[in-house]
Amino acid sequence: MASYDLIVVGGGPAGYVGAIRAGQLGKKVACVEKERAGGTCLNWGCIPTKSLLRNAELFHLMKHRAAEFGFSFDNLSYDWTKIIKRSRDVADKNAAGIEYLFKKNKIDYIKGEASLDKAGVVTVKGADGKTQKLEAPKILLSTGVVARPMPGLPFNGKTVISSREAMVIEKQPKSIIIIGAGAIGVEFAYFFNAFGTKVTIVEMLPNILPVEDTEVSQTLEKAFAKQGIEVLTGTKVVKTEASDKGVKITVEGKKNETLEAEVCLVAIGVQPLLPGGAQVKLTDRGYIQIDERYQTSISGVYGAGDIIGPPWLAHVASYEAIQAVEGMFMDHKPKKVINFPGCTYCNPQVASVGLTERAAKEKGLKFKVGKFPFMASGKARAIGEVEGFVKLIIGEPHGEILGAHIIGPEATEMIAELGLAITLEATHEEIEATIHAHPTLSEAIHEATGQAFGTAIHI
């Protein structure tokens, strides 16, 4: 039986990061992954979808706005197979990078399906059916989540698909119904629509991206409508029918009708992918329950990442894994996630951190709102991306940033400044006193801060 200081079960953003951090601390580590290093995020989520979205962004720009930039095309076309292949190539290269990092940090990378026999012992079953046992005083479970099917509409991989099938779909569908308007549903809606697929989004809640600030969600909905995406919010699915030829989805809400499409993408959420073997205590929603040190109900067995529950974000998973590992092997009190950025990579992009205006009101907090539209930004006009705004929720009387919300160009990059501001408990005065380069999109943050107190110059 091979012995280690730490066995990590799962090689996604929690697992591989936790393994590498333990390796940096000089520990003997094994990381067991059923499919491929990098997990869902790198192979079937965050990374390959951004490749697809980049293709969509470029094609949409050239097809609909080329004349604005002085370009013209006689026969603009695209190769769907190459678009999908580029996405897979990007994922492959990144996965190879993780495997290199394992070697660099002397981590044993073991491919197979792991089960937790008992505290300290893991059995791994390889693709050839052979098994091996590993032992370690510390085990980190980071097996993640999988797409949740819709009751009565099981995935069939052809006409009813999850995000995994959506990103490798061999033939572009002429029409698609997307059930669920969270980040996954919204991103795929933008992608397919950009290439001419007829897209209909069905969302039960009042707004798309329902976790975001209401004003941001409404702005994105208007942008999608202009792009030709049909958005049905406040609408529930009451009947479904799927065949080899397509789907029929009956809805009630804004419209009471039966929608038909070649494909239905179900993006209503995720469910935990629990490891086999010894049973750890679960939450009422089926996720692994942990204590303040990320330890499960079994001594020496820890959990991090999506498997311990929301938010289901790669960067949160990595943070949790590092906290868990440092808590195991260092004189360190692990921290739990409080503030984290959320990003959606459609166009316009959406990014946020901290409280929404809605949440601040529900908490009874006193605050001011600072808002600056990209239409008033010189850089945004120069690059031809004037849709959206920066919105800040500023606490009173101390002026701390309670929340930040951006919809518009490079929102997912710009949000980092505001995450740092919240972490450092920066006040609006400190942000306003910080010189922002001109012309940049980030000037909108500076201006939004000033707008809350009547000192903004360009609005």
Domains and CATH numbers, the chain: 2-146+271-329 (3.50.50.60), 160-266 (3.50.50.60), 348-451 (3.30.390.30)
* Contact assessment for residue 301 and residue 280, using Cβ atoms and an 8 Å cutoff: yes
**Structure confidence by residue, pLDDT tens digits, 148-192:** 999 999 999 999 999 999 999 999 999 999 999 999 999 999 999
pLDDT given at position 54: 98
* Mean pLDDT over each residue of the chain, to the nearest integer: 97
Q: What is the mean pLDDT of residues 403-410?
A: 98
Q: What percent of the chain stands above pLDDT 90?
A: 97
pLDDT given at position 198: 98
**Structure confidence by residue, pLDDT tens digits, 309-324:** 999 999 999 999 999 9
pLDDT given at position 255: 85
Residue 264 CA to residue 38 CA, distance in Å, equals 27
Q: What is the mean pLDDT of residues 247-252?
A: 98
pLDDT given at position 248: 97
254 falls in which pLDDT band (50, 70, 90)?
A: confident
**Structure confidence by residue, pLDDT tens digits, 207-226:** 999 999 999 999 999 999 99
∠ CA 412-319-336 to the nearest 5 degrees? 110
Pairing of strands 301-303, 276-277: unpaired
Residues forming beta bridges with residue 343, ordered by sequence position: 351
Residue 292 CB neighbour total at 10 angstroms: 10
pLDDT given at position 278: 78
80 falls in which pLDDT band (50, 70, 90)?
A: very high
Residue 418 CA to residue 437 CA, distance in Å, equals 16
Q: Is the pLDDT of residue 438 over 90?
A: yes
| Consecutive H or E run containing 2 | strand 2-3
Q: What does the block give as tokens for 25?
A: 């601390």
Per the listing, tokens 């091979």 go with: 2
Q: Is the pLDDT of residue 1 over 90?
A: no
Strand (E) positions, 245-366? 247-252, 257-261, 263-266, 270-272, 276-277, 301-303, 342-344, 349-354
337 falls in which pLDDT band (50, 70, 90)?
A: very high
93: number of CA atoms within 13 Å, CB side?
9
Q: Is the pLDDT of residue 105 over 90?
A: yes
Per residue in 213-243, is it b (16+ CB within 10 Å) or e — as a string? bebbbbbbbebbeebebbbbbebebeebebe
Torsion, CA 287, CA 289, CA 292, CA 293, rounded to 10 = -90
Which residue in the list 64, 405, 438, 446 is annotated as catalytic? 438
Per residue in 395-434, is it b (16+ CB within 10 Å) or e — as a string? beeebbbbbbbbbbbbbbebbebbbebbeeebbbeebbee
* Contact assessment for residue 274 and residue 296, using Cβ atoms and an 8 Å cutoff: no
User: Would you list which residues are annotated within the binding site for FAD?
Assistant: 50, 306
Is 438 tagged catalytic? yes
User: Would you list which residues are annotated within the binding site for NAD(+)?
Assistant: 180-187, 203, 269
User: Would you list which residues are annotated within the binding site?
Assistant: 50, 180-187, 203, 269, 306
Q: What does the block give as tokens for 365?
A: 């907090």
pLDDT given at position 332: 92
Q: What is the mean pLDDT of residues 360-365?
A: 98
Number of residues assigned to the chain: 459
**Structure confidence by residue, pLDDT tens digits, 8-56:** 999 999 999 999 999 999 999 999 999 999 998 899 999 999 999 999 9
Q: What does the block give as tokens for 11?
A: 């090689």
Sign of CA dihedral 351, 309, 21, 31: negative
Q: Is the pLDDT of residue 57 over 90?
A: yes
Q: Is the pLDDT of residue 243 over 90?
A: yes
* Contact assessment for residue 365 and residue 380, using Cβ atoms and an 8 Å cutoff: no
pLDDT given at position 418: 98
